Structure 1
Amino acid sequence: MKMMLMRRLLVLLAVFLSLSHSVKSQQTKRLNQGWEFLKGDLGGVWEAMRPVKEGSSESVPIWSKVSLPHCFNAQDAVDPDLNYYQGPGWYRTNLTIENSYKNGRILLHFEGAGQKTAVYVYNTKVGEHVGGYDEFTVDITDAVAAFKKEKVFNEQFKGQVPIAIRTDNSRDLEMIPSSLSDFNVYGGIYRYLNLVYTPPVSVDKVFALAEVDAQGKKGTLNISGRFYNPTQVGTVNAMVTVKDPFGKIIYTLKSEVTSFQSKNDLAKININKPKLWSPDAPNLYTVELSVATNGETHTNIEKVGFRHFEFIRKGPFHLNGKRLLLRGTHRHEDHADVAAAMTEDMIRTEMLMMKDMGVNFIRLGHYQQSRIVLNLCDSLGIMVWEEIPWCRGGLGGEVYKDQARRMLTNMIEQHYNHPSVIIWGLGNENDWPGDFTTFDEEAIRTFMKELNTLSHQLDPTRNTAIRRCDFCKDIVDVYSPSIWAGWYRGIYTEYKEVSKKEFDSVDRFLHVEWGGDSHAGRHSETPDDALSKIKKAESADERAGDASLFGGSARVSKDGDWSESYVCNLIDWHLKEQETMPWLSGSAYWPFKDFSTPVRPDNPVPYMNQKGVIERDFTKKEAFYVFQSYWTDKLMAHIYGHSWPTRWGDVGEAKMLKVYSNAEEAELFFNGQSMGVKKRNSQDFPASGLRWMVNYKEGVNQIKVIAKKGKETVVDELTQNYQTAKWGKPAKLILEKIADADGEITIQVKVLDANNVLCLDAKEYVNFNLTGDGKLLDNRGTSSGSKKVQFYNGRATISLKTNGGKSVASAKADGISTVFLNL
């Protein structure tokens, strides 16, 4: 109990610490407000700057007001009627700029913008960047000084400095990632943009290498720095300060810097028995580097952690001298209503949900992600595989390669200090052709070797890895083959056998990407039926065309029901097997959250990869609780089916009720009667033995479970209807209002047969529309937030804003008469 309380306190502390991680300057301001945006291109930057009287017909094109971060694919990425926009977009604002540092520098620090960026002060281009995911800085000092001498500075812009930024996510074969990738290549300033003031000399980067032996007794901390000194100041004073996890100063060193090399060695510190970093105790030390000149100081603050990790050759993963099973998932930078432009609060919510599910490892797919994510991984104790976006398509020319080299360098340097990072990923699915007339395996091998060497030169302490490119698996330190047992190929009971075969073929094995799609709210009484069509597979890899819902051999991804019921069984089997695989380093489920993709227009929610354990708006699916039952210590119990309002079957037919729990035992009550106590046994599939056969009555049924671990108990309750009437072909729709609060209405459409029986296995698409004053809350990429969506158990819902007026909603399915509802 005391240990669990301590872990909860550490999580809360982690959230606080993440707020102040990697401070770059005492004078940094997020530029969130006061922006205007134009979707499309301009004839030149002057069109963003020229004076036009307000309301004049000459004030075209029309700009819209936005706040940052902003992604211009926030809606169209999941609009079922459109291809998402790939092209240029412009942003503009006017800034009040006053640098208090004498002869100081003025910087625009981009935490990420997609995919090509050009920056202007008035009509002067001051910088550009290629790459949508690494950070970059543009020095606008000289351009601002020059503009302040112009008459328009005071006359037109009233003492403010106009800034224009052009971003562009146009398709470009000589850029990574490929547009063949199974995720959107978003556009916009979709991470935070900061205005930074510094003295003439500032800290550009701190490299703090914390190492410890496997026994955790001897730690060393090597600190070096890179300084930004564009005006060639001759001498500065540097000061290094190191604090332990409790904030106590354990080291200080003052020195004089006269040579500004690319990297200056500053300090080497020996620390006996350092407080180790781990998922259970993510202890972080603080490294501060200050530079001072002429009485002005600039400080950079970094967090580091001491940990020793090793992927054992032909064996499991060790952290700090002990075996640790990596319990992982994946993350795309994507969310309902904002796409890639997730706020810090959204990111924190997502990462805390992962921790609450029991995650200790994450692969960031398939690109460098926000510093906020890495800070939270450090403070929450989540180990990281982070990779560059060399993803699918083949290999381009020198421009293409230069971008990959540059992005690998930037990723390693920018995230070098994070103790959470254990793997640098060099590529994903590089065996997937399509962007070029030739596909040269040997050329790909040669470039992969180059990136592997570069990674180890930049950071010899971390491993390199790739996923799914067998002809390169001997190059990197750790390899993950394609294993999708029970989804794209084979059946899930083959998982251990197939994994062991792949494990034996490489020195260091880690299984990332497994799972299956589930349409949130869809459940099945016979979820494993499709497995009878599937032949035993020699391998369980994903092959060309397997993601298609049409043609090819039988596979669950095409022939299954896409129910939450099936995916819970698949996950349950994988997790129980992993407990009996002592050689396994770990795995990472794909992914944590549903995300948008341009290559899946025919999915139940169009343009969505629906393999997440939560929906795109943080709504938990049932699978979340399966993971919790295996991976967490805090007592939990969850009756399967909270999003399954109506079950079906014959009168008197025995039905299985499952409870996912980490309890020692649980007692189920069905309609007030005890169904007995069951003991948990992780190897008793399904639901670790916590399952009961019950006879539902027609209509409403009450279900309750009381789960126990020691003296602790937890309760979960559920109400479900039971339908015995058999249904025929879908024949009619019923549209009704089911919620109305604070100007937001939720409507539900049901599909019935000719005898008015609910068609509980209907999979047809329904299209919602609205006419009048209101607005549909659609294009969210969720089962309850899409204007085109497949039914789930005979129903579908969507919400709308009334805007204080009247509207008429409609629902339409092919071959069935459209229905209307006055609101």
Structure 2
Amino acid sequence: MRVIYTIPLKSIKQLTIYTCLLLFGINSFAQVKNQTSGRQLTRLNDLWLFSKDPKATASYQSTGSLNWEKVTLPHTWNDKDVMDDEPGYYRGVGWYKRKFVTNGSLQGKDVFLCFDGANQETEVYVNGKQASKHIGGYTRFNVDIGKLLKFGADSVNEILVKVNNRNNDDIAPLSADFTFFGGIYRNVNLLVTNPVHFAENDNGSDGVYITTPVVSAQAAQVKVKSMLQNSSASAQKLQVNTVIYDADSKRVSTQQTLVQLSAGQKKALVQDLKPVTNPNLWSPESPYLYRVVTSIVITKTKQVVDEVSNPLGLRWFKFDAEKGFFLNDKPLKIIGASRHQDYEGMGNAVPADLQVHDMELLKQMGGNFVRIAHYPQDPVILQTCDRLGILASVEIPVVNAITETEAFTQNCKNMQLEMIKQNFNHPSIIIWGYMNEVLLRPKFGNDKPRQEIYYGHIRDLAQMLDSLTRKEDPSRYTMIANHGDFDRYNRVGLTKIPMIVGWNLYQGWYSGNLSGFGTYLDRHHTELKDKPVLITEYGADADPRIRTLEPVRFDKSIEYAIKYHQVYLNDMLKRPFVSGGMAWNLADFNSETREETMPHINNKGLLTIDRKPKDTYYLYQAYLLKKPFTKIASSGWTIRTGVADSVSGASMQPLQVATNARSVELFVNGKSLGTKAPTDHICNFQVPFVNGENRIRAVDAAGRQSDEVTIMFNLLPAKTNSMQPVNQLNILVGGNRYYIDEQLKQLWIPDQAYKKGEWGYIGGQPFKGNNNRISYGSDKNIYGTFNDPIYQTQHVDIKQYKLDVPDGDYELTLLFSELVGGETKEALVYNLDNNHSKEQSAEERIFNVDVNGVPFLKNFNIAAEYGYTTPVNKTIRVSVLNGKGFTVDFTPVKGKPVLNALQLRRID
């Protein structure tokens, strides 16, 4: 069993001495060795130094000239630069080093450095000599360092690690919609074993592999394959003992096998254990875990020289192309989410407790599946899946495209082997994947004969990886996740190779409309009758700062995302042949190249990047949880504003309640608004909001579940020219959505055409980028602000903006940003209706702005003065007299005047 020790610290010097004594002191090591049966694993995350090597010119001998800083692992050098406005992030070389002291007690032992993950090319040096190289950023690797250590009284050893996350055409992924963070971003451990031990050089595994050839409700067969290694200079007679313990630590099956290993020999041993009768079956509802402990004993001395422990979940499953997925002979609809590994402010260097929390949140959502995408992740993820009862798929990062080289193929093969062998014993895993949307960015588009050769190489790679996977683990299914180009994947042959076809579908988002999703599912069922299907991705951007009363595609609002997920869940749940679906994504994640309303973040998550639930998360709870559930889904929209009705004096706005109850009653400030039955697990109420606090309470029909929230409402007068003062007005000109400025607690409201006695624009039209997907506005990154949505909508060719407000002193701020022109960028490849759109041609834009007849901006040229996609705020103080309100005139000099947003604040 692996034991990890936590060492109390008083100072760096004391830590160094204490760590060395614990790891390498004669008496301490002997005592620990007896406790751990010859195997000791110690966390080695502290006392590291780090330095970048931007020119990649340093060698082991010259690293002393680098500028070093103290760091603690896990560590990435890209936790900050992926969020700045400068395109790109550091992809290059980073060096890590650490010193420790040994004495002679370790001589004769095998010593390994165990890296859980370093991205993506790693070289390890010990005392000036290279110990290992590893390629691939998402799998574990063990480095044998025993023969490179210095021994003797207080011998100082130095570990030096070179990590490189450069673009390398021979290493997957080549491109992807996520950030390739660099660094030693997972744990590093020091493993000490006796010379006779389970093999640590078998693709990063612990050398023990458990299979369950036959499982039923009556009995389960268990087979254990152990890779044994004798690195000593003499032959050894051994006994390998394997014991299965139940959850109460009672023995339920044992097997002892004698074996002899020659000096330096590595050997595989297979043990068939006595069947486990009447087994407790593993499932999402009851994730019962047995434990398999395998030990190596020297027969002559009876000494246990090595021992490992692995989980055992007894279950059987199948995918059926007609009837869906079955677990332990019971139909089970798989519903869950995909997961990326990064976290706000940390990049991918995320501590274990936060990673465990991700799986807990998925379970609390009612999810029973996680697609670990698009790469193997921290070992703690699958450990938690085993414990909580979450089914899983894991895949290697062959994303978007391949390179047609032998090196690329070999690296993919090595990644697949490492993924399978390192995670072989997790009962949660039911699928191995190896490609994602690999035809999304096909090369040689202008040379069709050459492109067909490229497609052939992709097909060959897929067949090789699929065959390898089936050979290494025939007990699980294989899968490729394809984007929605049915004809292309079918023609190339990628729908024929894997056991399961996965589709990443975004009808109603990147392409098409929502009704096209069900049509696509039915087409698969008609044309690929023999292929089980999973919907491996689906989702819509959901920026929690954006709300709307009229949701439309690509407005990035929570309300559209709710509608989107309702359609997808309904269409999957009512079709038995659909085995299940994985929402994209569990949580928002970093994608440095993205712009949109929240630059550098893909915000399709059901949780924010700091793991706060969105309304869509509550929707899933309403669909999936079996216990009573009622939640005010709009509880995140706690700051609102709106115009008062001229009769009631309140502002009617929608409020959504997610529930699995038959009906819900809603109370506002203690008064019932009546009872509603949910439609697709959402009750839609029209709430008369009053100025100030609005206490909302939702109660289900049985009175078993309730939820409360207080919403602060800023009630605007029906007529702004009334005696009621307008203290502040924030308007998204050219937009039809609300925006919540979380820092200033300000709410920006949609624009409107001018009506006498109110406010609004005169002339012109809302800005629309030159693509077919956005109804209004732009999705460009607005440099120098976190409030991009304020500047991403715009009214073009505007003539006037009028605000009929009472007399008084005001501060008027006009907000601008030039949305046309600037650097030409490649269209986001995932926008399937917009793959080849070009930037609109910039034209010179010069105009004048007058406020109440007084010149304010003369020959105003946004691009010339400030550049493109840059926020510009222009403020003027005005005294409004004689009931005239505000009239802002826009006069063109050249081109068409624009206005992006407007803010009015009363100051008297």
Task: State TM-score, norm by structure 2.
Answer: 0.72
- Structure 2 match to 1:36: 49
Q: Distance in 2 between matches of 1:489 and 1:39?
A: 42
Aligned to 2:866: none
2:163 is the alignment partner of 1:167:
yes
Q: Which runs of 5+ in 1 are unaligned?
A: 1-15, 17-22, 51-59, 531-555, 732-737, 740-745, 770-785, 796-811
Partner of 1:485: 507
Is the CA contact (8 Å cut-off) linking 1:639 and 1:718 kept in structure 2?
Answer: no
Corresponding letter in the other structure for 1:165: V
Q: CA deviation at 1:101?
A: 6.0
Structure 1 residues 722 and 816: CA distance shift in structure 2, 3 A: same
- Compute the displacement of 1:478 (Å): 0.3
1:283 aligned partner: 288
CA displacement 1:415-466 (0-9 Å, x = unmatched): 1111100000021111133678954112211221111111110000100000
Alignment check: 8 A CA contact 2:596 2:779 kept:
no
2:567 is matched with 573
Query: Helix, strand or coil: the match of 1:642?
Result: helix
Residues 757, 117 of structure 1: CA spacing in aligned structure 2 closer, same or farther, 3 A cutoff?
Answer: farther
Residue of structure 1 equivalent to 2:178 = 183
Query: Following the alignment from structure 2 to structure 1, what is the Cα–Cα distance between the partners of residues 668 and 37?
Result: 58
Residue 889 of structure 2 corresponds to none
Give the Å deviation of 1:245: 2.4
**Contact (CA 8 Å) 2:119, 2:163: kept in 1 or not?**
yes
SS of residue paired to 1:280: coil
Name the residue aligned to 2:327: 319
* Aligned mates of 2:781, 2:539 — CA distance in 1: 27
Tell whether the 8 Å contact from 2:50 to 2:71 is kept in structure 1 after alignment: yes
Rounded Cα–Cα distance in structure 2 between residues aligned with 1:79 and 1:231: 54
Q: How many residue pairs get matched?
A: 697
Question: Once the 2 structures are TM-superposed, how far is the Cα of residue 568 of structure 1 from its aligned partner?
Answer: 1.2
Q: Cα distance 1:698–1:714, how it changes in 2: closer, same or farther (>3 A)?
A: closer
Instruction: Give the letter aligned to residue 677 of structure 1.
Output: T
Task: Compute the RMSD of aligned alpha carbons.
Answer: 3.3
Spell out the pairing of 1:71-90 with structure 2 (5 A cutoff). 71-90=76-95
Q: Which amino acid aligns with 2:708?
A: D
For 1:304 and 1:233, the matched residues in 2 are separated by 34
One-letter amino acid of the structure 2 residue matched with residue 492 of structure 1: L
Can you list the C-alpha shifts for 1:175-204, whole angstroms capped at 9, x where unaligned?
Answer: 1111x2111122111111001110001113
Offset, 1:570: 1.1
- Alpha-carbon separation, structure 1, partners of 2:266 and 2:442: 43
Which aligned pairs between 1:217-236 and structure 2 lie closer than 5 A?
217-231=218-232, 233-235=234-236, 236=238
Amino acid at match of 1:298: D
Q: Secondary structure at the match of 2:344?
A: coil
Deviation at 1:160, TM superposition (A): 2.6
- 1:307 pairs, out of 298, 307, 315, with 315
Aligned to 2:767: none
Describe how 1:777-788 pairs up with structure 2 within 5 A: 787=786
**Could you list the per-position Cα deviations for residues 93-117 of structure 1 after superposition, in whole angstroms to 9, with x for gaps in the alignment?**
1123458566111100111111000
Amino acid at match of 1:217: Q
Tell me, in whole angstroms, the C-alpha distance in 2 between the residues paired with 1:678 and 1:31: 57
Q: Does structure 1 conserve the Cα–Cα contact (< 8 Å) formed by 2:120 and 2:182? A: yes
Change in CA separation of 1:132 and 1:98 when aligned onto 2, cut-off 3 Å: farther
1:71 aligned partner, one-letter code: T
Tell me: CA distance 1:219–1:647, structure 2 relative to 1, closer, same or farther (3 Å).
farther
Deviation of residue 219 (structure 1)?
Answer: 0.9
The 3 A distance-change label for structure 1 pair 715 and 699 is closer
CA–CA distance in 2 between the matches of 1:648 and 1:502?
Answer: 46
2:667 to 649, 652, 669: 669
Task: Pick from 440, 458, 462 the counterpart of residue 444 of structure 1.
Answer: 458
Give, in whole Å, the separation in 1 of the partners of 2:370 and 2:604: 16
Is 1:118 aligned to 2:123, yes or no? Answer: yes
What's the offset of the Cα at 1:616?
1.1
Q: CA deviation at 1:751?
A: 6.0
Q: 1:750 to 1:701 in 2, by over 3 A?
A: closer
- Conservation of the 8 A alpha-carbon contact between 1:110 and 1:193: yes
- The CA distance in 2 between the partners of 1:305 and 1:384, in whole Å, is 13
Q: Secondary structure in 2 aligned to 1:561?
A: coil
Q: Given the two structures, how large is their TM-score scaled by the length of structure 1?
A: 0.79
Whether the 8 Å contact between 1:394 and 1:433 is mirrored in structure 2 is no
Cα distance in 2, alignment partners of residues 426 and 790 from structure 1: 37
Residue 830 of structure 2 corresponds to which residue in structure 1?
none
The answer to which of 608-617 and 294-303 deviates more is 294-303
Matches within 5 A, 1:715-794: 715-721=707-713, 723-724=715-716, 747=744, 787=786, 789-791=788-790
User: Gaps (5+ residues) in structure 2?
Assistant: 5-35, 200-206, 483-488, 721-728, 734-740, 762-775, 794-812, 814-868, 877-908
Contact map agreement 1:523 1:793 (CA 8 A) in 2: no
Q: Give the Å deviation of 1:338.
A: 1.4
Cα distance, 1:248 vs structure 2: 0.7
CA, structure 1 residues 766+458, in 2 after alignment: closer, same or farther (shift >3 Å)? closer
The 3-state SS of whatever aligns with 1:481 is: strand
The letter of the residue matching 1:35 is: W
Greater RCO (CA < 8 Å, at least 6 residues apart): 1
Asked if 1:391 is matched to 2:399, the reply is yes
Paired residue secondary structure (2:437): strand
C-alpha distance 497-434 of structure 1, shift in aligned 2 (>3 A): closer
- 1:27-426 maps to which residues of 2 (within 5 A)? 27-40=40-53, 41=56, 43-48=58-63, 60-97=65-102, 103-145=108-150, 148=151, 159-178=155-174, 180-204=175-199, 205-213=207-215, 215-231=216-232, 233-235=234-236, 236-259=238-261, 260-293=265-298, 295=303, 297-426=305-434
| Cα pair distance change 1:339/1:268, threshold 3 Å | same
Decide whether aligned partners of structure 1 residues 76 and 486 sit closer, same or farther in structure 2, where only a CA change above 3 A counts: same
User: Hey, what does 1:582 align to over in structure 2?
Assistant: 576
Report which stretch shifted further, 388-397 or 377-386.
388-397
Q: Secondary structure at the match of 1:353?
A: helix
In our comparison, the structure showing a higher alpha carbon Rg is 2
Matched-pair contact (CA < 8 Å) for 1:24–1:301: no
Residue in 1 aligned with 2:521?
499
Q: CA deviation at 1:241?
A: 1.2
Aligned equivalents of 1:322, 1:299: Cα separation in 2: 36
Measure the CA separation in 1 of the matches of 2:166 and 2:73.
Answer: 21
CA contact (8 A) 2:83 2:600 kept: yes
Distance in 2 (alpha carbons) for counterparts of 1:526 and 1:413: 50
- Letter of the structure 1 residue corresponding to residue 189 of structure 2: N
| Residue aligned with 1:431, SS | coil
Letter in 1 for 2:550: T
Contact 1:121 1:161 in 2 (8 A): yes
* Cα distance, 1:671 vs structure 2: 2.9
Deviation of 1:309 after TM superposition, in Å, equals 0.6
Which whole-Å CA distance do the structure 2 matches of 1:416 and 1:679 have between them?
46
Query: What is the one-letter code of the residue matched to 2:874?
Result: S
Query: Using the alignment, how far apart are the partners of 1:701 and 1:660 within structure 2?
Result: 19
Q: Does 1:638 align with 2:646?
A: no
Deviations 1:294-322 (A, max 9, x none): 63521110001111111013221111001
Report the equivalent of 1:12.
Answer: none
Deviations 1:140-173 (A, max 9, x none): 011104xx47xxxx8xxx6331111001011011
User: Is contact 2:731–2:748 with CA below 8 Å preserved after alignment?
Assistant: no
AA of the residue aligned to 1:570: Y
Q: Distance in 1 between matches of 2:128 and 2:758?
A: 67
1:747/1:392 Cα in 2 relative to 1: closer, same or farther (>3 Å)? same
